Structure 1
């Protein structure tokens, strides 16, 4: 398995996630047997709003007892978070160069109800890889394993509260940078909506 990249299933993953994918021409295995960790990119994406960084959070149903495997985490629809997320994306990126070019690709994620968080995130990942023109096969782990080689295991290194994974992020144009400056390692959609087909070259 050390000839695969071991990645968590993130919601609209950050730029550093795709930089990790680009760093090695290896097929991807998505970790589905880890115990679901709270407050990570598995349920949150950071975008650039007019007021600065904005976290979009996907609510999940609470398990009854013990730890829940990632593959068993269900999305909650107790409130209409999809509408809020889509309105936030529109408000943040309507004036960007490529939002209208891509919006029909992303709209179904805010209209259809996915039952499982893993399916939702991986379906998004496959779309993002296609839009970025990154050719990688995507599979799933068959069991939980702790001892992958550090250079292929990204399950814990890319985290909202850990900034060291971003490296020396080269600034790129962002819609509201004149207000708040460049914000590094936002969701990949920030790069995609601002730079379109040039995004892969930035990575």
Structure 2
């Protein structure tokens, strides 16, 4: 069975739950027109004051295919994002084990949004010691057996109820579900795989 997924920036846990299902062929869509205000260039983490969206600025020229989207470096978003991630998770149980691999992502400039997002994905797979195969679309996919391109909304909470797990600021702000996979790995470490597989 084939599943079609969008290419996200440190995707939410719900995306990984679909990505890691067994007996599927995963295709990541890179020819769709870039839609604004989605996880394609944003990720949500748990900061001291609650949910925080980290948004990668892009150079936008009307209708542009995802594969052609360029990252803007007019402002130092890399420093801002890394500072926010470190501030949010440096007290979490597993951040110190992954800090070096994550920090490296923010130390070199990548022009292509797709390329950067794929680097983030491969880093997460490396951290979780997962060898999940996927391919990139070679043209715009009109239809697929399972199409998740418009399934994940950065604007509303997922319908699914996610089991609670320890979060650094949950004592203060309560449990926030379906954040970036970063939140999961920094708080659960190697147990993240079992959490995702059990969703």
TM-score between the two structures when normalised by the length of structure 2: 0.94
Q: Distance in 2 between matches of 1:70 and 1:118?
A: 7
Q: Post-superposition shift, 1:27?
A: 3.2
In structure 1, the partner of 2:82 is 86
Say yes or no: does 1:176 pair with 2:169.
Answer: yes
Corresponding position: 1:54 with 2:52: yes
The Cα offsets for residues 156-179 of structure 1, whole Å up to 9 and x where unpaired, read as 1011124345x1210110000011
1:105-116 equivalences in 2 (<5 Å): 105-116=101-112
Which structure shows the bigger proportion of residues in strand conformation?
Answer: 2
Is 2:122 the partner of 1:126?
Answer: yes
2:188 is equivalent to residue 192 of structure 1: no
Q: Is the 8 A contact 1:27 1:136 kept in 2?
A: no
Q: Tell me the residue number matched to 1:103.
A: 99
Q: How does 1:3-14 map to 2 (within 5 A)?
A: 3-14=1-12
Give every structure 1 segment of 4 or more consecutive aligned residues whose post-TM-superposition deviation is greater than 3 Å. none
Which residue of 2 is the match for residue 163 of structure 1?
A: 157
Using the alignment, how far apart are the partners of 1:135 and 1:26 within structure 2?
A: 14
Query: 1:169·1:184 contact (CA, 8 Å) conserved in 2?
Result: yes
Offset, 1:143: 1.0
Q: Does the 8 Å CA contact 1:71/1:116 hold for their aligned counterparts? A: yes
What TM-score, normalized to structure 1? 0.92
1:199 positional shift: 0.4
Shift of 1:5: 2.3
Alignment partners' CA distance in 1, 2:125 and 2:3: 14
Q: Of residues 139, 158, 178 in structure 1, which corresponds to 2:135?
A: 139
Pairwise CA RMSD of aligned residues? Answer: 1.2
User: Contact conserved, 1:26 with 1:136, CA < 8 A, in 2?
Assistant: no
Return the alpha-carbon distance in structure 2 between the equivalents of residues 79 and 41 of structure 1. Answer: 20
How far apart are the structure 2 equivalents of 1:122 and 1:158?
A: 18
Matches of 2:175 and 2:81, distance apart in 1: 22
The answer to whether the 8 A contact 1:75-1:114 is kept is: yes
Aligned length: 196
Q: Is the 8 A contact 2:4 2:26 kept in 1?
A: yes
